[in-house]
């Protein structure tokens, strides 16, 4: 039910606190756990810094990427585990991931190297998702542009593929025979 959170290197007044620990209850939604972490680290509420947790080896838990923030944190984190708070740094222009910094005074170099390697993977996944989103927007734009003019119209046919419609360009039908597969039979030149 509880996890140990390690953090460090922040100042309260004239006192500098290094490598502190506190317990956090994971029987709560993920979004509440992240808000609690920001509160304990005294990050301003206006700051939209991304924070995450990594284990002592340096493997990120990617809590900031979950699409369902109401999911229970106990399903994502091991009970009695020790986790380190990390700051996920992004490029302000395109929101690309630039680095992940553990909030510790002197983190191990192996941990820093592993975190930096994960930045590359995160950025590749972000770019791939961005490209997919652009392609989906283009596809939706083509669909929403309206009906195709009569000169460029296409015929719609249905097969035994779950009732999904496919478009066939009529100009192509004149040049080569159409092959449509129905089960194991192949029909040539027919719709």
* Residues contacting 55, CB < 8 A, separation 6+: 61, 81, 82, 83, 84
Residue 27 has a CB neighbour count (10 Å cut-off) of: 11
pLDDT higher than 90, residue 1: no
Mean pLDDT value of segment 44-67: 82
Residue 43: inside a domain, yes or no?
Answer: yes
191: in domain: no
pLDDT for 150 equals: 53
Beta strands in the chain (DSSP E): 2-7, 10-12, 15-17, 20-25, 50-55, 82-90, 97-102, 154-158, 165-169, 179-182, 185-188
171 closest CA partner among 146, 153, 156, 149: 153
Number of other residues whose CB lies within 10 A of the CB of residue 149? 7
In this predicted model, which residue has the larger pLDDT, 158 or 55?
A: 55
- The pLDDT score that the predictor gives to residue 157 is 46
In the prediction, which pLDDT does 68 show?
Answer: 83
Residue pair 105/113 in contact (Cβ under 8 Å)? The answer is no
**Is the pLDDT at 49 greater than 60, yes or no?**
yes
Beta strand 179-182 with 185-188 is antiparallel
For residue 181, give every residue at least 6 positions away whose Cβ sits within 8 Å of its Cβ, in sequence order, or none.
159, 187
- Residue 65 has what DSSP assignment? G
In angstroms, the CA 128 to CA 42 distance is: 34
Q: Is the pLDDT of residue 83 over 90?
A: yes
In a domain, 169, yes or no: no
- Per the model's pLDDT, the better-predicted residue between 55 and 45 turns out to be 55
**129 part of a folded domain:** yes
How does residue 82 score in pLDDT terms, banded at 50, 70 and 90? very high
User: What tens digit of pLDDT does each residue of 147-174 get?
Assistant: 555 555 444 444 444 444 444 444 444 4
Domain that holds residue 72: 2-142
Q: Is residue 179 part of a domain?
A: no
Query: Is the residue at 23 inside a domain?
Result: yes
Please count the structural domains in the chain: 1
> Does residue 178 carry a pLDDT above 50?
no
Tens digit of each residue's pLDDT (9 = 90 or more) over 3-38:
989 887 555 554 555 678 889 999 999 989 988 988
Give a yes or no: residue 32 inside a domain: yes
């Amino acid at each position: 039910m509880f996890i140990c959170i390690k953090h460090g290197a922040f100042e309260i007044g004239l006192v500098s606190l290094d490598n502190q620990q506190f317990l956090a209850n994971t029987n709560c939604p993920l979004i509440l756990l992240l808000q609690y972490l920001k509160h304990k680290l005294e990050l301003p509420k206006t700051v939209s810094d991304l924070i995450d947790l990594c284990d002592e080896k340096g493997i990120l838990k990617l809590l900031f990427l979950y699409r369902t923030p109401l999911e229970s944190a106990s399903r994502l984190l091991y009970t009695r585990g020790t986790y380190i708070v990390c700051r996920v740094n992004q490029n302000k222009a395109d929101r690309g991931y630039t680095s992940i910094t553990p909030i510790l005074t002197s983190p191990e170099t192996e941990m820093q190297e592993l975190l930096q390697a994960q930045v590359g993977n995160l950025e590749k996944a972000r770019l791939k998702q961005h490209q997919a989103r652009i392609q989906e927007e283009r596809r939706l734009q083509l669909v929403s542009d309206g009906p195709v003019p009569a000169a460029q119209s296409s015929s719609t046919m249905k097969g035994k593929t779950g009732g999904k419609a496919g478009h066939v360009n009529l100009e192509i039908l004149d040049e080569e025979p159409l092959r449509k597969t129905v089960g194991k039979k192949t029909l040539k030149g027919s719709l």
